[in-house]
Structure 1
Amino acid sequence: MTLELYAIGNALVDSEYLVTDEFLASQSIEKGCMTLIDGDRQAGLLAALDREFRCAKRASGGSAANSVIAFSAFGGRAFYTCKVSDDDNGAFYLHDLQAAGVSAPAHARVAGGVTGTCVVMVTPDAERTMNTHLGITAEMSAGELDLQALEQARFLYIEGYLSTSASARHAVATARDIARRRGIRTALTFSDPAMVQYARDGLAEMLADGVDILFCNETEATLWAGVESLDDAITSLHRLSPLVVVTCGGRGAVISHHGEHTAIDAFPVNAVDSNGAGDAFAGAFLYGLSRDWPLDACGRLASRTAAQVVSRFGPRLDSAGYAAVLKAHV
């Protein structure tokens, strides 16, 4: 059976908290971004959180992982290259992937180190802020790739968060070289404004001579291009990709193919938690592409999926939620 989507990304166990803006300020945490921290800092943050709030949800996470799980839930065949430790979090993570129908390399779990963890803090305006300790996923390398699985895929999907790791960037370059030789379409997501601001050189290295599909949100697009106008930003991004997909929160999304724009309406919902919305959008969009749908149909499924993710707590839907979205779409 041919694999449809092969993704590379960080493996992180998410712990989610509902917090206040005052708490973020008291901890000197930059709101709305992902910040890398060490284990000691994360332990102190968790202690402070547990004194004031309650952990609302624990889930396997990572930007690309959320996307491939959505892709799989719709009926796609997906594979996720990642790296975890042989600790409890590592076992939890791989079990979660398997339960979602996503395959992973047999050698993804290694002895020593700790599995990466992410503290996700959601404020009353539904904005998500993340503090991440990468743990062993910072050591992601070409050795974690499953070349046999990759060579079967139709799409290669790359997570922008990998831009902070030299060994992960080398893994991406190796995978991209195989994809190029095999005629596999390559997609990349910027993942977070912080990657554009603080890891731009790493992103540029992973983008290399361009990709087939580029996902980003409006803030990431304008930051990358150094402009205020979204139209100008998209024009700039077309130097990197013929197909640019930009999410715009409650205003929907813009799909630009060779400069021809298609506006995608948002599905109005009561926003609860924005964590994972962009990831879900990308996973749903790629699923539509894997079925050779027109771009506007891909966009509508993606927008509907992201809206449902935003309307509840946590980065993903359950299997029934994805099935309901697909049924409503078709």
Structure 2
Amino acid sequence: MTQPSLDVIAIGNAIIDVIANCEDARIEELGLARGGMMLIDADQARTLYDAMGPAREISGGSAANTLAGLAMLGARCGFIGQVAQDQLGDVFTHDIRAAGIEFSVPARPGNPPTARCLIFVTPDGQRTMNTFLGASHYLPAEALDESLIADAAVLYLEGYLWDPEEPRAAMRKAIAAARKAGRKIAFTPSETFVIDRHRADFLDLIETGQIDVLFCNEHEMAALTGKEDFEDGLAMLAPKVPVLVVTRSADGAVAIADGERVAVAAEPIEKVVDTTGAGDLFAAGFLFGHVRGMKVADCLRLGAICASEIISHYGARAEQDLKAFVAERMA
């Protein structure tokens, strides 16, 4: 097997995050699910945007956020996702390439427009996400560069993109290409509502040995396994994947790799500002250590440190020099 030129290549939604502060009462007034993620259509997107206070626009998308973190740590990365030929599509394309991430999928002409996620952040730092998926759900299988997938040590897949038929077919094709090349596949189911819709597919990927590294939080693990008890969920999943990583918010995270169980505490920070992207950056830190053959305990610590940087400010892209931030805390 040849040495890969990329550490991680990811397939995911190409999204612009629009983030604004709000009071808890505003969440209730708008009828939103506090702390959750809801899919919306174009009309709802316009209505909620009009209801937002002053906002900031930041390139996002779960897998793209993970890659941005990986690239800041020094990893070589590539992204596969779909934007439209519009202003937000240009912004996303510029941002991901400026981060040093390979991105060559052509923009899609016409409607729907580039995806956007309208994020309301309450005073406790909790984020309520409302996502219009737009062009991101029209990623065709023919957009895949199979040689590039084969040339990455890890293929990372975002569960959010499993919902529509076209990108789901693209992801299945990518899994086949990675497997043929002898590469590893990492997967996150992304959200409980995605699991509710595609639980059988996700369990099949796990049962048939298609997943090497599985990331989920404790709520997603419960939805995936049907086990409300944390230990029961771990016992069900751990024997089926070489590496299982389960995050628990303020309670840290647990990983089980080849039967070895390791836990890490959440990194202490002065104030939680915005939890958007915490899981994405946890995955970035863990994968960075994983592709470099680090011990599982160190991979978990890297993940926790990266997540702590993200929740200390707005948005899901690091604002500090992430490599220096990690080095200081790992010392």
Q: TM-score range, shorter-chain basis?
A: over 0.9
One-letter identity of the residue aligned with 2:109? A
One-letter identity of the residue aligned with 1:197? D
Measured after TM superposition, the shift of residue 204 of structure 1 is: 4.4
From the superposition, tell whether residues 170 and 123 of structure 1 become closer, same or farther in structure 2 (CA, over 3 Å): same
SS in 2 for 1:85: coil
One-letter identity of the residue aligned with 1:252? G
Distance, in Å, in 2 between the alignment partners of 1:249 and 1:141 is 35
Q: Which stretch of structure 1 is more off in the superposition, 125-134 or 211-220?
A: 125-134
Alignment of 1:141-160 (within 5 A): 141-160=140-159
Measured after TM superposition, the shift of residue 124 of structure 1 is: 1.9
Query: Is 1:24 paired with 2:27?
Result: yes
Residue 86 of structure 2 is matched in structure 1 by 87
From the superposition, tell whether residues 205 and 8 of structure 1 become closer, same or farther in structure 2 (CA, over 3 Å): farther
Distance, in Å, in 1 between the alignment partners of 2:207 and 2:103 is 26
Distance, in Å, in 2 between the alignment partners of 1:185 and 1:202 is 19
Alignment identity in percent? 34
From the superposition, tell whether residues 128 and 205 of structure 1 become closer, same or farther in structure 2 (CA, over 3 Å): farther
One-letter identity of the residue aligned with 1:254? V
Residue 8 of structure 1 is matched in structure 2 by 11
One-letter identity of the residue aligned with 1:112? G
Measured after TM superposition, the shift of residue 110 of structure 1 is: 2.2
Check conservation: 1:69, 1:97, Cα contact below 8 A.
Answer: yes
TM-score, with structure 2 as normaliser: 0.93
Deviations 1:96-129 (A, max 9, x none): 0011111112x33122221111101112222212
Length, aligned pairs only: 325
Q: Which stretch of structure 1 is more off in the superposition, 230-239 or 216-225?
A: 230-239
Query: Is 1:174 paired with 2:196?
Result: no
Residue 254 of structure 2 is matched in structure 1 by 254
SS in 1 for 2:101: coil
Check conservation: 1:255, 1:261, Cα contact below 8 A.
Answer: yes
Distance, in Å, in 2 between the alignment partners of 1:34 and 1:207 is 24
Check conservation: 1:70, 1:322, Cα contact below 8 A.
Answer: no
Alignment of 1:21-60 (within 5 A): 21-49=24-52, 53-55=53-55, 57-60=56-59
Measured after TM superposition, the shift of residue 245 of structure 1 is: 0.2
Deviations 1:159-195 (A, max 9, x none): 0101211111111110000111111000001212222
- Out of 90, 106, 120, the position equivalent to 1:108 is 106
Check conservation: 1:301, 1:326, Cα contact below 8 A.
Answer: no
Check conservation: 1:37, 1:132, Cα contact below 8 A.
Answer: yes
From the superposition, tell whether residues 311 and 69 of structure 1 become closer, same or farther in structure 2 (CA, over 3 Å): same
Measured after TM superposition, the shift of residue 324 of structure 1 is: 2.0
Distance, in Å, in 1 between the alignment partners of 2:100 and 2:48 is 33
Q: Which stretch of structure 1 is more off in the superposition, 237-246 or 70-79?
A: 237-246
SS in 2 for 1:10: coil
Query: Is 1:212 paired with 2:221?
Result: no
Check conservation: 1:116, 1:133, Cα contact below 8 A.
Answer: yes
Residue 286 of structure 2 is matched in structure 1 by 285
Alignment of 1:239-250 (within 5 A): 240-250=240-250
SS in 2 for 1:109: coil
Measured after TM superposition, the shift of residue 319 of structure 1 is: 5.3
Deviations 1:264-303 (A, max 9, x none): 1111112111000000000111111111111111110110
Distance, in Å, in 2 between the alignment partners of 1:118 and 1:247 is 23
SS in 1 for 2:321: helix
Residue 299 of structure 1 is matched in structure 2 by 300
Residue 223 of structure 2 is matched in structure 1 by 223
From the superposition, tell whether residues 24 and 205 of structure 1 become closer, same or farther in structure 2 (CA, over 3 Å): farther
